[in-house]
Structure 1
Amino acid sequence: MKHRDAMLAAVVMGLAVTCAHAQDADPAPLRWEVAPGVQAQAEVQEGGSIAVLLTPSGTRQVLPGAADADGTARLSAEDVDFDGRPELVARASVGMVNEAVAVYRYDPVQQQLVALEPVSTDGAQCGGLMGLTVDAATRTLGSSCRGGPMWYVDQYRYDGTRLYLYRAERLLMLDELLEPYVLVKQTANRGPLAVWSTFDPAGKVLETAIGDGLEAPPAGSPLVPVSGRVMAARLPLYSQPGDAATKRYLVLDDRVELLDERDGWVQVRYENPTRGAVRGWVNTQP
């Protein structure tokens, strides 16, 4: 399922739950165990904040939470950090399709709930845990959002207790510019092209590949680039974006994989029958 469809399904379900809660004048508090011998109780307050009581310590907290236009939220206990014990998750519909999410986990040192927030990075599209999905099999969190007409997805993983951006996309408006040089087969279900990047915990890019901007690559698997067919009789293949001269060329009907894009230059990989994999950059804006 494409992540836009999953997001829509989640929002529809969320709206249904919200309507059900609206009919319940006094929803039951959420209760769960945050640590051995430590129980928690949480209730949504007017405006969307969350009142928390920890026992047996008696510690009380008021957390910002997440709120929809009516100041309400949906609470759940989910194992978001894969330690075997659930965290407090607040979800609220934002607009017609997006879902704001706030996550709080128990800190045994502070003996209270603290916000779980990803490390700030320029690569993320959604700016936090929007439309949160939890993939226990790959220990990956998904964050999905819509901006204007486009859907975006970010994926996060843990480095110890630190939540970092593991994979993200950068949408391209490249199809028409690329077509005279490299033709990528268009299908009815394919979205706009996007550069997908995989990062290490320090933010270093480990791999890039151009793929479907509406189809999130499987977490934990290498990126698989789309391929295309060279349309020009002789297509210069440059070593770096911005180079003015090259002795390398691709020819008509060569098959290439699309790896990256910078300012209209597209990195491709060509499997040379004698030299093996050859990488270079194609200028789509000469």
Structure 2
Amino acid sequence: MAVAFHARAEEAAIIQVDPQTQARVTLSPNRIVIRFLLSGKTQTLNIKPTDADGGYRLATDDFNFDGHQDVAIVDSYDGVTEGYQIFLFDPAGQRFVPLEVKQSGSCAGLSSVTVDPKSRTLFSACRGAGWNLDAYRYAADGGIYLYQSTEDAGIDSNPALERLFGVKQGDTPIGRLLTYDDRGRVIARVLAHRDSLAIVHGSAQVIAPHLPMYDKPGHGTSGRHLVRGDHVDVEDVSADLHWARVTYRNATKGSIEGWVNISGLSPR
């Protein structure tokens, strides 16, 4: 449900928070007033629209997957991306409380939000040079945390890597996808499309007669190596774009993963 609001006017709507709770929401330029119909309790939420003319709309959804409808103030700060100020319903206190996002990803906070109940994930999208997407989930204590986000991997500015990943003009940019735990620690790194978080693998063939594999980019000694003609999947690239994390799948020995020099690879 969404209610349009225009500056210098008031709009009101009735929302069904849960089977036992209805509320009348009245929208004003810098606040919304919520009156719970059964108890008569009234709550005022101060808001800060970012639209130049102060306009916004009201959206409702179960933003924290607890079975109650929450509310969000939605406005556009650049004419394309919609900023979200979300207020979660607290059934114990019979009130709405602001959803606080402490760690932001590619987007500055929550914007153009979509809700995925199946994975219990909020997706936040914003427009830059292209579209970027972040994923948020909830920890056991009920707090929201950044679950996945992308950063620039340098692939789109490196012709050799573009060939390795089959990037063509107009393709969705490829970034490094970082997955976090609820303490903000990075627990996985792969490559993915920045507008969908879909994982991307490059496919390469070894062209060097003997290509050492390292545990880190060019670090330490290596007792493993690949040989000319081996086929590998490229999972990540180093910050200096000289090394690739690859996986070699052997029918008898299983999968072997390590870092190799990109100069020893060519596209398949």
Q: TM-score, normalization: structure 1? A: 0.76
Structure 2 match to 1:115 = 98
Q: Tell me if structure 2 keeps the 8 A contact 1:104–1:116.
A: yes
Structure 2 match to 1:150 = 130
Structure 1 match to 2:219 = 243
Structure 1 match to 2:147 = 166
Q: Following the alignment from structure 1 to structure 2, what is the Cα–Cα distance between the partners of residues 53 and 132?
A: 26
CA 108–241 in structure 1, closer or farther in 2 if over 3 Å, else same: same
Q: TM-score, normalization: structure 2? A: 0.80
Structure 2, unmatched stretches of 5+, are: none
Deviation at 1:65, TM superposition (A): 4.9
Q: Does 1:42 align with 2:25?
A: yes
Could you give the per-residue CA deviations for residues 122-141 of structure 1, whole angstroms, max 9, x where no partner exists?
6x221321110011222211
CA 183–126 in structure 1, closer or farther in 2 if over 3 Å, else same: same
Larger helix share, 1 or 2: 1
Q: Following the alignment from structure 2 to structure 1, what is the Cα–Cα distance between the partners of residues 170 and 194?
A: 11
- Identity across the alignment (%): 29
Structure 2 match to 1:184 = 165
Q: Following the alignment from structure 1 to structure 2, what is the Cα–Cα distance between the partners of residues 246 and 257?
A: 19
Deviation at 1:281, TM superposition (A): 1.2
Structure 1 match to 2:46 = 63
Structure 2 match to 1:136 = 117
Q: Following the alignment from structure 1 to structure 2, what is the Cα–Cα distance between the partners of residues 77 and 208?
A: 34
Q: Tell me if structure 2 keeps the 8 A contact 1:41–1:52.
A: yes
Deviation at 1:196, TM superposition (A): 1.6
* Aligned length, in residue pairs: 258
1:1-286 matched pairs, under 5 angstroms: 21-22=5-6, 26=9, 28-34=11-17, 37-46=20-29, 48-55=30-37, 56-118=39-101, 120-121=102-103, 124-147=105-128, 149-160=129-140, 161-175=142-156, 177=158, 179=160, 183-187=164-168, 190-217=171-198, 224-230=199-205, 232-234=207-209, 235-243=211-219, 245-264=221-240, 265-284=243-262
CA RMSD of aligned residues (A): 3.2
CA 29–253 in structure 1, closer or farther in 2 if over 3 Å, else same: farther
Q: Following the alignment from structure 2 to structure 1, what is the Cα–Cα distance between the partners of residues 21 and 204?
A: 61
Deviation at 1:239, TM superposition (A): 1.8
Larger strand share, 1 or 2: 2
CA 43–283 in structure 1, closer or farther in 2 if over 3 Å, else same: farther
